[in-house]
Amino acid sequence: MHGPKALLMTLLALPLLAADFSGAAALELTRKVVAFGPRPPGSPAIKKLQAFIEAHARQRGCQIIEDAFRAATPVGPIPMKNIICKFSGTSGRAVVLTGHYDSKLFPGRRFVGANDSGSSTGILLEFARALAGRTHPDDIYLVWFDGEEAIAEWTATDSLYGSRHLAERWANEGMLSRIKAFVNLDMIGDRDLGIMQNTEGSPQLNQLIWRIAKDLGYGKYFLNTGGAVEDDHAPFFRRGVNAVDLIDFDYGPQNSYWHTEQDTMDKLSAHSFQVVGDIMMELIRRLST
């Protein structure tokens, strides 16, 4: 047996390795992120958060790469910045974990976005600690995307500003062909965790992640139902990258906490961060062998 299927079967058979990841630390980092308040692109709050992310990542030995640009939005140009943390390997290949750190703008409302986007910001910050000081055969990239949320209403041009920009940049730089796996994380802190199967993504990579969840005893949190959700993985997946999106898109009764003032820290749990963190650390290990 040869090709992608044979590789997948080999990866599935590898033994497990305990992950050095703390869900409690990820939750506390998310709390610090949320304390900045609403964080829409171009706001004073998001600029403070950008400095916080970069300072934290540098302390963990990351090479910081800033991907700054001006986005054309329905309300005019807005400065945005993707923040990239790179842990260098030697194989010439790369594994990429991403999430967005901007929060949706709701004029006249105080939307702090604890789960959307606090949880993705916080878990990536904890990955920077958990990955620091390790030997990595592959380059490991952590990417905090700006501008995931629509400024007005979600359209092909009013959404995913940061990921669309980086996908184009990396395509021009020849980076996309180096990526073994690309996993976007969104709304993963919900204490009632249920990761849906996003059908817009790589079936093989989804299968591997679901298998790891089962192997680690976390299978009940990874659902057999889902559908297509457009998220920050999409600009990469559409360019042929082995990319998936892990998202819990059933947040509160009938998704009633999503994009409301009820998206607060009390709705999150350290255990949910631990589940996702352990699985991603094990994914990186299996992909590196």
Is 148 catalytic? The answer is yes
DSSP assignment of the chain equals --SHHHHHHHHHTSPP------HHHHHHHHHHHHTT----TTSHHHHHHHHHHHHHHHHTTPEEEEEEEEEEETTEEEEEEEEEEEE--SSS-EEEEEEE------TTS----IIIIIIHHHHHHHHHHHHTT---SSEEEEEEES--S-SSS--SSSS-HHHHHHHHHHHHHT-GGGEEEEEEEES--BSS--EEEESSS-HHHHHHHHHHHHHTT-GGGEEEEEE----TTHHHHTTT--EEEEE----SGGGTTTTSTT--GGGB-HHHHHHHHHHHHHHHHHHT-
How far apart, in whole angstroms, are the C-alpha atoms of residue 243 and residue 143? 14
Amino acid of residue 200: E
Which of 67, 102, 126, 148 does the annotation list as catalytic?
A: 148
Closest CA to 204 of 237, 231, 173: 237
168 part of the active site: no
Catalytic residue among 126, 186, 231, 250: 186
Dihedral pair phi/psi, residue 216, rounded to 5°:
-85, 0
Catalytic residues: 148, 186
